[in-house]
Amino acid sequence: MAPSRLADQLADTLLSEAKLLAELSATMQRQRDAVAVDDLDAIDDSVFCTHRVLATLGEARRRRRWLAQLLGESDDLSLSALAHFFNGNPPACVHTAAAHLADAARVLQRDVNVNRRVLRRAIEASDAYVRTLCGISGPESAAYSDAPGRAGEGSPGGHIVDRRA
Question: Do 150 and 139 contact (CB within 8 A), yes or no?
Answer: yes
Helix or strand or coil: residue 152?
coil
Question: Do 102 and 79 contact (CB within 8 A), yes or no?
Answer: yes
Helices (H), 37-146: 40-70, 79-85, 92-134
Confidence of residue 112 (pLDDT cuts 50, 70, 90): very high
More confident residue, 162 or 42: 42
Question: Do 116 and 28 contact (CB within 8 A), yes or no?
Answer: no
d(CA 22, CA 105): 8
pLDDT given at position 87: 77
Q: Which sign, positive or negative, has the C-alpha torsion 55, 56, 62, 65?
A: negative
More confident residue, 19 or 126: 19
Helix or strand or coil: residue 137?
coil
Domains of the chain: 3-134 (1.20.58)
pLDDT given at position 101: 94
Amino acid 39 reads D
pLDDT single digits (tens) 46-103: 999 999 999 999 999 898 888 888 777 766 677 777 777 777 788 899 899 999 999 9
pLDDT given at position 161: 46
pLDDT for 115 beyond 50: yes
